[in-house]
Amino acid sequence: MDNDGRGTIPSFFGHLFLLLLATTTAADDSATMSKLLQGLSPAPQGWSSSTSYCKWSGVSCDSSSHVTTINLASMSLSGTLPSDLSSLSYLKSLSLSTNSLSGPIPSFANLASIEEISLDHNNFTDLPSGTFRGLTSLQALSINYNPNLKPWTITEVDLVGSPSLVSLYASNSNIIGSLPDFFSSFPSLQHVRLSYNNINGSLPPSLGGSSVQTLWLNNQGQGLSGTLDVLSKMTQLNQAWLHKNQFTGPIPDLSKCKSLFDLELRDNLLTGIVPMSLMSLPNIQNVSLDKNKLQGPLPENPKNIKLTYGDVNSFCRSSPGPCDPQVMTMLEVAGALGYPIMLADSWSGNDACKGWSFVTCLDKNVTSVVLSKQHLAGSISPAFGNLTSLRTLLLNDNNLTGSIPDILASLPNLETLDVSNNNLSGLVPTFSEKVKLIKSGNPLLGKKISGRDGGVAGSFNASSLSGGAIAVIVIAILISVSVLLFIIFWCFCSKERKWESKRITSSMYRIKSSNHPTKEPLNHNDIGKSNIRNFDNGNVMFSIQFLRQVTDNFCPRNIIGKGGFGTVYKGVNEDGQEIAVKRMESTAMSGKGVDEFQAEIAVLTQVRHRHLVTLLGFCVNGNERLLVYEYMPGGTLSHHLFDQQQRRNSPISWRQRLTIAVDVARGVEYLHSLAKQSFIHRDLKPSNILLGDDMRAKVADFGLVRNAPDGKYSVETRLAGTFGYLAPEYAATGKVTTKIDVFSFGVILMEMITGRKALDDTVSDEMSHLVTWFRRILIAKEELSKVIDRSLDLDEETLESIAKVAKLAGHCTARDPQQRPDMGHVVNALSPLVEQWSPETRELEDDVWISDLSLNLPLNQVVARWQNEGTATMFGNYTSTTTSYVPSQDDSSVPSRA
């Protein structure tokens, strides 16, 4: 680019002009001015080629006829500007605003005198790069409202050579790209108005030390993002328009912004608690906070300023005042994580136990917080220490820094703490033995942080170690060695490994866990003749090596239960995913051949329902059969109902029992409706009902005892089931219908009501068989309250609900199977009770809850697979369970579908 306009050769027209005027001064400016005149239409009033340009209206010159000012604002001009405007090297002020000028904005580069350029409200089309380069005197630039400009970036027009800039106005002028971190180049910049553009990225840090007073960045197309933290350092700020963007994180502490009077933050994604100081800033007048995701207490408004906050947001209450302490604790937890948006969405309202995601509660107290793999940064808040009922805290696989707060070690009920795969550092607090602590994948953890800089003392310099430190190290080594020995002795794990590896047979296939979709191709011959198609969806077959690995070689420490069929181990893979592995001798499967076993399991793994424990796959190892299930962290219903004394469980409320009952009924209904003849559970009981962290239930162990075609049941069926839950006709004849499950379900309802086991040898004979005793009381219409579990809190509503369920339990256990309702009816009878109790459970139902490990296979595909398998003889019509139950007039009759 030509640096010096005065050196250009005048045009032919310029010569003519010169001749006509017969003047020799300021030859260069006259050429440019006449080009300017030529390009404009109509010619501005008072501009004529026959008079000296210094006399044109709006133009002023210095004593040497150098143009210093051009003011053509609001002259209804159209046309274009000459490309060599920058040859007016004495120009101080140019105003062309409010016209209809079009075409490119010419370069102003190196106009060392220019102080003010205003091009607002025109129709310019281009703003070439370098246009504002080297404007060393520039104080005010404004190009607002040029909506037809080709998208441009602030960086490319190059303003950094203008240290005197005071105001930069370019609203609605099609700026794209980010706001450069250039504010330290403009020590005098006070007014930045860049509204209605497409600026993206975050607020640059150099805004912090700037003298910017007016900051208009509202209504960016896609929106600026990142946090508002830098505002806290903008001590001169008085007006901040930041609405309609994508700013995230909390509103920072603005107490240093003493002049701030107008803060527009509405329509962003702001989270967290509004700082108390905001509303008492000395000059504050206008604040808008609406349409964000702000949490915690509503800001008080002591000065009665103009405040809007109403829309959306996640405040705990609709009027100012403190939130529930548990809510505040949880918000502090969120705060240490930078108030991530995904927590703000559901962590709203004044009850942390009401629909908050990642949180589960028992009786209004938070018992588990599961935030694994949520891309969280930040630190672990010591506020977790206030959640005294907390049992499970999973923070693994994030990017957390800082140390593990000591106070976590004093949580009385903590059972599992998983902080693996983060960036934690510092010493690990000493947890009690019962806490399962997973902390691998934190390279800096356990090393001492050096006091001053927070850095890590990585290298060991023996000579600098004090005697005390050496003693500590020696003790630590001794302790670790003894712990190691203890583990080895207790588990015999390494011994078992050697012994077992000899028994690995060739029928093993390596399939990685479902988090690693890579699997080696399955060998058809190895699988046998069974239908290959069943193996193409999910990891049906697990290798024994994998199962050994995830269960620490079937270490006794990992046993979570023993049942009639075998031992159940918990397994955790490298990703922290949990599975339950049931290990059985093949005799438990009534001596079925491997092929048959595989085919059967293949089908069962395809059966997926929210209230059925998913069978993920199996493994055959010599005589052993292993089944792999999704892991259910909440344990069995029977633990929760009957083992309260031993466990620290608080008794489960009636509402929770009802919810569990409906869950179970739905799961069983699904089994029955899938294929009437083939999926009868036969062994429904509380120990086969497993609970999730959220106390929602799933039915386990279905499908293992296969039904034979009608009529032949006596040949193949050994009596499966458990005394106390057996329907009388089944016990007597072995005849299997869906109604035997209904009977067992009725018994479970009775157990939920009474808190007593189906068979209880510890009480009088008259009471020991629950069904007999309970039905007698029902029929005699005795006072129901005397059979109700004493740990239930009774009010009128609860009593009424229990009475209805008791009646239903009676129907389900009718002697004559014909008189028992089917599972669909049961669902319809129970679900209104739950909904009446807690309307939000309906929402929960809609929200399909499938564990990480499961595949959600549509029902029709399941059925199609069944048909291909040829195992099912008939299909029940799958009816939606949402049909509502209309109570019949006769209260004693069996409920029927509407």
Ligand X SMILES: *[C@@H]1O[C@H](CO)[C@@H](O)[C@H](O)[C@H]1NC(C)=O
Ligand Y SMILES: Nc1ncnc2c1ncn2[C@@H]1O[C@H](COP(=O)(O)OP(=O)(O)OP(=O)(O)O)[C@@H](O)[C@H]1O
* Residue 332 lies near ligand X (rule: CB under 6 A): yes
Please state, in angstroms and rounded to a whole number, the distance separating the CA atoms of residues 69 and 56: 11
Q: How many C-beta atoms lie closer than 10 Å to residue 633's C-beta?
A: 20
Rounded to 5 degrees, φ, ψ at 615 are -85, 115
Nearer to ligand X, 123 or 531 (CB): 123
Site of tokens 């009077």: 261
Q: What is the dihedral of CA 868, 870, 874, 877, to 10 degrees?
A: -20
Which of ligand Y, ligand X, none does residue 328 bind to, with CB < 5 to 8 Å depending on kind?
A: ligand X
* Residue 60 lies near ligand X (rule: CB under 6 A): no
**Footprint on residues 157-186 left by ligand X (CB under 6 A):** 176-177
Q: Which range of residues in 357-365, 499-507, 800-808, 871-879 is near ligand X by CB under 6 A?
A: 357-365
Which of ligand X, ligand Y, none does residue 582 bind to, with CB < 5 to 8 Å depending on kind?
A: ligand Y
Cross-strand pairs, 200: 178
Which of ligand X, ligand Y, none does residue 539 bind to, with CB < 5 to 8 Å depending on kind?
A: none
Which of ligand Y, ligand X, none does residue 701 bind to, with CB < 5 to 8 Å depending on kind?
A: ligand Y
Q: Which of 2, 363, 585, 716 binds ligand X (CB under 6 A)?
A: 363
CB of 686 to ligand Y, least distance (A): 9
CB of 353 to ligand Y, least distance (A): 23
Binding mask 638-677 for ligand X (x = CB under 6 A): ------------x---------------------------
What is the 3-class SS of 750-784, one letter each residue? Answer: HHHHHCCCCECCCCCHHHHEHHHHHHHHHHCCCCH
Say how many residues touch ligand X, by CB under 6 A. 29
Per the annotation, where are the binding residues for ATP? 582
* Residue 791 lies near ligand X (rule: CB under 6 A): no
* Residue 635 lies near ligand Y (rule: CB under 6 A): yes
* Residue 747 lies near ligand Y (rule: CB under 6 A): no
Site of tokens 């395809």: 606
CB of 249 to ligand X, least distance (A): 15
Catalytically active residues are 683
Residue 485 CB-density burial (10 A; 0-12 exposed, 13-18 middle, 19+ buried): exposed
Binding mask 221-260 for ligand X (x = CB under 6 A): ----------------------------------------
**Footprint on residues 253-292 left by ligand X (CB under 6 A):** 261-262, 285-286
Nearer to ligand X, 306 or 562 (CB): 306
Q: How far is CA 469 from CA 428, 430, 473, 529, 533, in A?
A: 17, 18, 6, 66, 63
520: left (phi over 0), alpha (psi -120 to 50) or beta: beta
Q: How many C-beta atoms lie closer than 10 Å to residue 254's C-beta?
A: 21
Q: Which range of residues in 468-476, 503-511, 535-543, 680-688 is near ligand Y by CB under 6 A?
A: 680-688
Site of tokens 């310019």: 124
Nearer to ligand Y, 92 or 640 (CB): 640
Helix axes 823-837 and 738-754, enclosed angle (nearest 10): 30
* Residue 177 lies near ligand Y (rule: CB under 6 A): no
Cβ 281 vs Cβ 305: under 8 Å:
no
Please provide the DSSP assignment of 376-431 as one string.
-EEE--GGGGG-TT--EEE--SSEEES---GGGGG-TT--EEE--SS--EEPPP--
Of 781, 775, 787, nearest in space to 814 by CA = 775
Please state, in angstroms and rounded to a whole number, the distance separating the CA atoms of residues 791 and 160: 74
Q: How far is CA 440 from CA 372, 403, 409, in A?
A: 14, 14, 18
Q: Which range of residues in 153-161, 215-223, 681-689, 849-857 is near ligand Y by CB under 6 A?
A: 681-689
Cβ 134 vs Cβ 110: under 8 Å:
yes
* Residue 325 lies near ligand X (rule: CB under 6 A): yes
Instruction: Give the CB-nearest residue to ligand Y.
Output: 563
CB of 637 to ligand Y, least distance (A): 10
Per the annotation, where are the binding residues? 582
* Residue 613 lies near ligand Y (rule: CB under 6 A): yes
Q: Which of 95, 329, 425, 442 binds ligand X (CB under 6 A)?
A: 329
CB of 417 to ligand Y, least distance (A): 19
* Residue 155 lies near ligand X (rule: CB under 6 A): no
**Footprint on residues 198-217 left by ligand X (CB under 6 A):** 200-201
Binding mask 696-725 for ligand Y (x = CB under 6 A): ----xx------------------------
* Residue 568 lies near ligand Y (rule: CB under 6 A): yes
Of 140, 139, 148, nearest in space to 121 by CA = 148
Q: Which range of residues in 190-198, 466-474, 630-638, 880-888 is near ligand Y by CB under 6 A?
A: 630-638
Q: Which range of residues in 46-54, 322-330, 578-586, 779-787 is near ligand X by CB under 6 A?
A: 322-330
Q: Which of 80, 97, 144, 389 binds ligand X (CB under 6 A)?
A: 389
CB of 577 to ligand X, least distance (A): 20
* Residue 741 lies near ligand Y (rule: CB under 6 A): no
> For residue 744, what are its two tokens?
């067992």
Q: Which of 38, 125, 346, 871 binds ligand X (CB under 6 A)?
A: 125
CB of 590 to ligand Y, least distance (A): 14
Say how many residues touch ligand Y, by CB under 6 A. 22
Q: Which of 564, 593, 622, 887 binds ligand Y (CB under 6 A)?
A: 564
Q: How many C-beta atoms lie closer than 10 Å to residue 549's C-beta?
A: 15
Element (H, E) at 264: strand 262-264
Q: Which of 284, 383, 589, 601 binds ligand X (CB under 6 A)?
A: 383
Which of ligand Y, ligand X, none does residue 108 bind to, with CB < 5 to 8 Å depending on kind?
A: none
Binding mask 36-75 for ligand Y (x = CB under 6 A): ----------------------------------------
Q: How far is CA 789 from CA 697, 794, 834, in A?
A: 20, 10, 19
Cβ 423 vs Cβ 399: under 8 Å:
yes
Cβ 172 vs Cβ 151: under 8 Å:
no
Element (H, E) at 272: strand 269-273
Cβ 144 vs Cβ 124: under 8 Å:
no
Strands of 2-104 (E only): list them. 40-41, 59-61, 67-71, 78-79, 93-95, 100-104
Q: Which range of residues in 362-370, 495-503, 594-602, 696-704 is near ligand X by CB under 6 A?
A: 362-370
Q: How far is CA 660 from CA 445, 653, 722, 752, in A?
A: 41, 11, 21, 10
Cβ 189 vs Cβ 212: under 8 Å:
yes
CB of 252 to ligand X, least distance (A): 19
CB of 737 to ligand Y, least distance (A): 20
Please provide the DSSP assignment of 111-131 as one string.
-TT--EEE--S-EEEE--TTT
Cβ 265 vs Cβ 231: under 8 Å:
no
CB of 897 to ligand Y, least distance (A): 31
Binding mask 80-109 for ligand X (x = CB under 6 A): --------------------x-x-------
Nearer to ligand X, 86 or 200 (CB): 200
- Strand pairing report for 93-95 and 67-71: parallel
Query: What does the binding site for ligand Y look like in residue numbers (CB under 6 A)?
Result: 560-566, 568, 580, 582, 613, 629, 631-632, 635-636, 683, 687-688, 690, 700-701
Query: What does the binding site for ligand X look like in residue numbers (CB under 6 A)?
Result: 100, 102, 123, 125, 148, 176-177, 200-201, 261-262, 285-286, 306, 325, 328-329, 332, 362-363, 365, 377, 383, 386, 388-389, 399, 401, 650
